Structure 1
Amino acid sequence: MTETMSRSETSLLPQLHEPRNPGMPLDMDRVMRCTANRSAIERRAASLPGRRSVKKDYQAAWLARAISCIDLTTLAGDDTPGRVARLCAKARQPVRADILEALGLEGLTVGAVCVYHDMIAPAVAALEGSGIPVAAVSTGFPAGLSPFPLRVAEITESVKAGAREIDIVISRRHVLTGDWQALYDEMRAFREACGEAHVKAILATGELGTLQNVARASMVCMMAGADFIKTSTGKESVNATLPVSLVMMRAIREFYEETGYRVGYKPAGGISKAKDAVTYLALVKEELGDRWLRPDLYRFGASSLLGDIERQLEHHVTGAYSASWRHATS
């Protein structure tokens, strides 16, 4: 991608479809009103998989929508330009061409490709002209414990390198100690460093202790200007869950009702099966509405998920299941 990208080449970027969340002053009264009834939340989340089941053409349609919302990701220490190029080829052609043709879905792509900073350049080159943005993890990912000036500088360098989306990690200690002003100031600095690139705030919910902390951290990050809030780095022992997703989606809904700005949502880590993707999309539909069922406001942080979805779509078209190894992502 270049600085002179056309609108069609950046059609998946959220800031082209919605007024960008500018943030607002930290409202501590509003933050402290964020609570979470764990038993009710878990009961609601547990009921969803059994109540929402779609079959045949409807299932294929939901799975195709899930593909369009995937941030196809590689965050391994042994990543190479060649591996990233293969991943980008899969991003351009996520499902075998004959299957997409049978479904009438030619041209379907994933939402973005997510990499470490050093892999931005090969990803940008491999995706040129596709309209698929490059996302980069930043700010000392995954722990977020590097010196603050370096975390801000990392964002700046990734934007210069061509990343159009930046996935930042918050300092969990600010949440665990209740220092909401520090979290707000940190998030605000990250948002400013991103410039025109949109920013996803990773809360690392598995390390925040309580659902109430998840609700409050979500609200503070949105007040500070986050374009997306995201569950996890994928490196924690507990990543995306339905209860956490319910809490974060309701925070997004409340923020939209109060400010008029839509903030995106991204569950990440542990979502590897097609049926789980449909369950998450059903929760989005019920809690936030159809507008959020688009890649500019919803993403899956996943890599292995795409392979299982492709396998299910092949079964839908041919009536036979193929071996999972036939659907590698890179």
Structure 2
Amino acid sequence: MQTPTTDQTRQLPQLLEPRNPGIDLDLDWVRGLQANTPAIGRRAQTLPGRRSVKKEVQAAWLCRALSCIDLTTLSGDDTPGRVHRLCAKARQPVRADLLHALGLHGLTVGAVCVYHDMIAPALDALQGSNIPIAAVSAGFPAGLSPFSLRVAEIEASVAAGASEIDIVISRRHVLTGNWPALYDEMRAFRRACGNAHVKAILATGELGSLRNVARASLICMMGGADFIKTSTGKESVNATLPVTLVMLRAIRDYHTRTGFRVGYKPAGGISKAKDALVYLAMIKEELGDRWLRPDLFRFGASSLLGDIERQLEHYVTGTYSAGWRHAMG
């Protein structure tokens, strides 16, 4: 198995890539975007059957997927104790004996994602680990609080120590085609983040069409988003392969025109290792190997980690273990 190098597994995007500064709003480009929904559906439907990896290659891909997880807890009953346990799992996501058998050392998740009030406990638990803390912000998950409060919330999370901010956009701007308003909002959120990287959550399940997903993706990148993210995880429809294909191609087009690489984060509903492998395969085909690193790709997930660990134990021992052997805390 190929062991990732230190540079390949460093999580903070700004350490490896120039930040996307954004560009002037180009409405001709935005309005020219279309989405062939039947073709996109066929492409997404056939991918799982055409691309599969086995044995040691599968184990290596699962380790890469693990390193790209934003280990997340976004529940109303979150406590400092729960966050401490989550951070302990982030620092040691796979049992030491399995890592030893795989020949991997120092493997961690990509980041820990929490609400603003849980930043301090996360900072305490992750001290010395170099694992970034991502905070959800801007009126998460609906994005309907007063604009000034959303900006202030971002600034407060950055001041509290979050190095990545997951903001939610105003869906109404997309649904009404008010692209200048969405662009201005994204620019304001980017300014509020300062040196912290910003992930723009599109809430794709609420945007109405794949064409809207493509246009919203492009507007957020024009506005300076470092990542574009599918969902809050709270919508009825979260990350899907058709949506992923549309967003990846928007990222590819933006990189082709501007030279800046923007990251991608699917979130919500990705709980099985086999599903993670399909997402990695699509990214490899659409964007190339450079995007298969935690500085440009993340899974927004929690239960996914447990299934990946089970699959790695099966690779090492030849047997499947009970889920409680890989508990999150």
**Aligned-partner Cα distance in 2 for 1:249–1:11:** 22
Alignment-mate amino acid for residue 232 of structure 1: S
Gaps (5+ residues) in structure 2? Answer: 1-5
**Is contact 2:10-2:294 (8 Å) kept?**
no
Provide the identity percentage. 80
Gaps (5+ residues) in structure 1? Answer: 1-6
* Alignment partner of 1:166 is 2:165: yes
Q: How big is each residue's C-alpha offset from its partner over 1:58-98, in whole Å with a ceiling of 9 and x where there is no partner?
A: 00000000000000000001101010000000000000000
Moved over 3 A (4+): none
Q: How big is each residue's C-alpha offset from its partner over 1:154-208, in whole Å with a ceiling of 9 and x where there is no partner?
A: 0000000000000000000000000000000000000000000000000000000
Q: Give SS of 1:20's match.
A: coil
Structure 1 residue 11, shift from structure 2 partner: 3.6
Aligned residue runs from structure 1 range 134-153, under 5 A: 134-153=133-152
Which residue of the partner structure matches residue 33 of structure 1? 32
Which residue of the partner structure matches residue 180 of structure 1? 179
* Alignment partner of 1:88 is 2:74: no
Aligned residue runs from structure 1 range 204-219, under 5 A: 204-219=203-218
Which residue of the partner structure matches residue 4 of structure 1? none
Which residue of the partner structure matches residue 156 of structure 1? 155
* Alignment partner of 1:71 is 2:70: yes
Root-mean-square deviation (CA, aligned residues, Å) is 1.1
Q: How big is each residue's C-alpha offset from its partner over 1:194-252, in whole Å with a ceiling of 9 and x where there is no partner?
A: 00000000000000000000000000000000000000000000000000000000000
TM-score by length of 1: 0.97
**Aligned-partner Cα distance in 2 for 1:282–1:92:** 26
**Aligned-partner Cα distance in 2 for 1:219–1:189:** 16
**Aligned-partner Cα distance in 2 for 1:92–1:80:** 19
Which residue of the partner structure matches residue 203 of structure 1? 202
Which residue of the partner structure matches residue 320 of structure 2? 321
**Aligned-partner Cα distance in 2 for 1:96–1:90:** 10
Which residue of the partner structure matches residue 3 of structure 2? none
Q: How big is each residue's C-alpha offset from its partner over 1:33-74, in whole Å with a ceiling of 9 and x where there is no partner?
A: 111000000000001100111110000000000000000000
* Alignment partner of 1:300 is 2:299: yes
Aligned residue runs from structure 1 range 234-253, under 5 A: 234-253=233-252
**Aligned-partner Cα distance in 1 for 2:71–2:277:** 17
Structure 1 residue 329, shift from structure 2 partner: 1.5
Q: How big is each residue's C-alpha offset from its partner over 1:3-29, in whole Å with a ceiling of 9 and x where there is no partner?
A: xxxx99x94110111010000110000
**Aligned-partner Cα distance in 1 for 2:282–2:327:** 28
**Aligned-partner Cα distance in 2 for 1:324–1:90:** 15
Alignment-mate amino acid for residue 223 of structure 2: A
Q: How big is each residue's C-alpha offset from its partner over 1:131-164, in whole Å with a ceiling of 9 and x where there is no partner?
A: 1000000001000000000000000000000000
Which residue of the partner structure matches residue 118 of structure 1? 117
**Aligned-partner Cα distance in 2 for 1:258–1:59:** 34
**Aligned-partner Cα distance in 2 for 1:24–1:95:** 41
Alignment-mate amino acid for residue 103 of structure 1: L
Aligned residue runs from structure 1 range 19-58, under 5 A: 19-58=18-57
**Aligned-partner Cα distance in 2 for 1:98–1:51:** 33
Structure 1 residue 325, shift from structure 2 partner: 2.0
Q: Give SS of 2:17's match.
A: coil
Structure 1 residue 30, shift from structure 2 partner: 0.5
Structure 1 residue 110, shift from structure 2 partner: 0.1
Q: How big is each residue's C-alpha offset from its partner over 1:227-281, in whole Å with a ceiling of 9 and x where there is no partner?
A: 0000000000000000000000000000000000000000000000000000000
